[in-house]
Amino acid sequence: MTIIAGCDVGSLTSKAVIMQQDKILAVEIIKSKAKPQESANLVLENALTKAGLKLPDVQFIVGTGYGRDHIPFVHKTMSEISCHARGAKWLVPSAKTIIDIGGQDCKVIKLDKTGNVSKFIANDKCASGTGRFLEVMARMMNISIQELGEVSEKSKQPIQFASMCTVWAQADVVKYLNSGFALEDIGAGINMAMANRVSMLVSAIGIETDICMTGGVSKNSGVFVSLERILGHKIKKARKLDPQLAGALGAALIANDQIKGRA
């Protein structure tokens, strides 16, 4: 029995996936701790408990995410780009373009015919176009991040936000709230602004279908639908697994390759 694992220590959340060859045994998502080591230990331990396993049972572990260099138990580290690409390809095998929006950055990855990364681009200039942007905005509106995603559906007239800058947009949100605009219209406007920003990255790398979306923000239906509209293409949903786990999943799959390679 070959057990492998992927561990993705991100800036906001940490994720682990445990697999037996192609079968997922257990997954876990936790809020990241102050130290990446702590996050890694905790998230893997929880996942192992769920799978009824212990650390020595795992033959190969690949670490990824911003904290990857500080994970004590990994056998190999890989960049998030490679892991997300691998994970997304497993979730949506027809994917050529992958949009991954995490808490702190947004990446667009293009795959070649064989599923290898042929190009990637990342926005890490500022919070706009990242999960952090939505988090700040949801907080301003006093609603949860889930609710922010759902309000888009109710909106008939989304507000057009002039600014994509998190600081300026906050001021605009306050202004609209104080002027009594409907919460759903403000929320839909925020999701739209986010989608606009992300679409620029996608255009910069060039769209190739199928497009699939991973990362925490892909769970926000408002951003998802707006992005489809702007890009003029359907985006495939990852149905087999929580799309937030794509990085950890990819890491586990790469671990599997390593084992196979050894064999």
Partner 1 sequence: MIDIFLNAARTIEPNAVSEEKQHGKLVVGYTCSYLPAEILHAAHIIPMRLRGIETHSLEIADSYYGPFICTFPKCLLQLASQGSYHFLDGAIISTGCDGMRRLDECWRKAGSDYHGSLPSFFHYFDVPHKRESYAISWFIEEIRKLIQHLKTHFNVKITDDAIRQSIQLYNHGRRLMFELDSLRHTEQVRISGAHAFAVSVAGTILPRELFTEQLALFLNHVKNTNTIMGKNQKRLMVVGSVNDDLELIELIEQCGAIVVSEHLCFGIRNEDDLVNETGDPVAALADRYLSNSACPRMFGYFSERLNLVKEKIQKAHVHGVIMQNIRFCDLHGSENGLMEHALEALGIPCMRIEREYGSLTETGRIKMRIQAFLERIES
Partner 2 sequence: MRPELSEYPFDWMLWRSLISASRLKHGSEKEYQSALRYIPYFKGVVNTIYNMGSPGQKFLKIIETYVERIVTAKENNRKVAMTTFCFSPALLHAMDIVPVSLEPMTVLGSVMWKRGCLDYMDFCTDIGFSETGCSSQRGSMGAYLARAASEIDFIVIDSAGVCDTNSNAFSFAATYLNKPFYGLNYPATLIDDQTKHYHRDDYRNMITFLETHTGKKLDIDRLREVLNQHAKQDALIHEIEELQMLVPNPMPVTYNFLIYAGRFFFSGVSLYTELLEEMLEIVKQNAKQGKSGLTGGQEKLRAFFIYIDHYSLDLKLWTLLDQRGISHLGNILSRGFSAKAPYIKYVQNHGYQIDTSTLDSMIDSITEINARMPMVRSIRGPYDLPHMWLEESAALAKLLKADCCVYNGTPGCRNTWSNVKLIANDLEKHGFPTHIMYGDAFDERVESWEITSTRLEEFFTIRGLL
Asked if 171 is part of the footprint of partner 2 (rule: CB under 8 A), the reply reads yes
Judged by beta carbon distances under 5 to 8 A according to partner kind, the member of partner 1, partner 2, none in contact with residue 78 is partner 1
Judged by beta carbon distances under 5 to 8 A according to partner kind, the member of partner 2, partner 1, none in contact with residue 165 is partner 2
Q: What is the spatial distance between Cα 108 and Cα 205, in angstroms, rounded to a whole number?
A: 8
Q: Which is nearer to partner 1, 96 or 192 (CB)?
A: 96
Q: Which is nearer to partner 2, 24 or 164 (CB)?
A: 164
Q: How far apart are the first and last CA of the chain?
A: 13
Which residues make up the interface to partner 1 (CB under 8 A)?
Answer: 66, 78-82, 105, 116-122, 124-125
Residue whose structure tokens are 């949860």: 144
Asked if 177 is part of the footprint of partner 2 (rule: CB under 8 A), the reply reads no
Smallest gap from Cβ 149 to partner 2, in A, equals 22
Judged by beta carbon distances under 5 to 8 A according to partner kind, the member of partner 2, partner 1, none in contact with residue 117 is partner 1
Q: What is the spatial distance between Cα 10 and Cα 71, in angstroms, rounded to a whole number?
A: 12
Return the range that interacts with partner 2 (CB under 8 A); candidates 36-44, 81-89, 129-137, 168-176.
168-176
Rg (CA), the chain: 19
Q: Which is nearer to partner 1, 48 or 68 (CB)?
A: 68
Smallest gap from Cβ 153 to partner 2, in A, equals 22
Q: With CA atoms as reference, report the closest residue to 18 among 47, 54, 42, 56.
A: 47
Q: Which is nearer to partner 1, 105 or 242 (CB)?
A: 105
By rule CB under 8 A, what string of x and - marks binding of each residue 214-233 to partner 2?
----------------x-x-
Q: What is the spatial distance between Cα 159 and Cα 37, in angstroms, rounded to a whole number?
A: 42
Q: What is the spatial distance between Cα 140 and Cα 202, in angstroms, rounded to a whole number?
A: 28
Q: Which is nearer to partner 2, 94 or 203 (CB)?
A: 203
Judged by beta carbon distances under 5 to 8 A according to partner kind, the member of partner 2, partner 1, none in contact with residue 162 is partner 2
**63 near 92, Cβ under 8 Å?**
no
**Pairing state of beta strands 3-9 and 106-111?**
unpaired
Q: Angle of helix 145-154 relative to helix 183-205, nearest 10 degrees? A: 100
Smallest gap from Cβ 107 to partner 2, in A, equals 17
Write the DSSP string, 242-262: -GGGHHHHHHHHHHHHHHHHH
Helix (H, G, I), strand (E, B) or coil at 17: strand
Q: Which two tokens stand for residue 232?
A: 């003029």
Smallest gap from Cβ 204 to partner 2, in A, equals 5
Cα 139 to Cα 29, 127, 132, 143, distances in angstroms: 22, 15, 11, 6
Smallest gap from Cβ 82 to partner 1, in A, equals 4
Q: Which is nearer to partner 1, 121 or 259 (CB)?
A: 121
Asked if 105 is part of the footprint of partner 2 (rule: CB under 8 A), the reply reads no
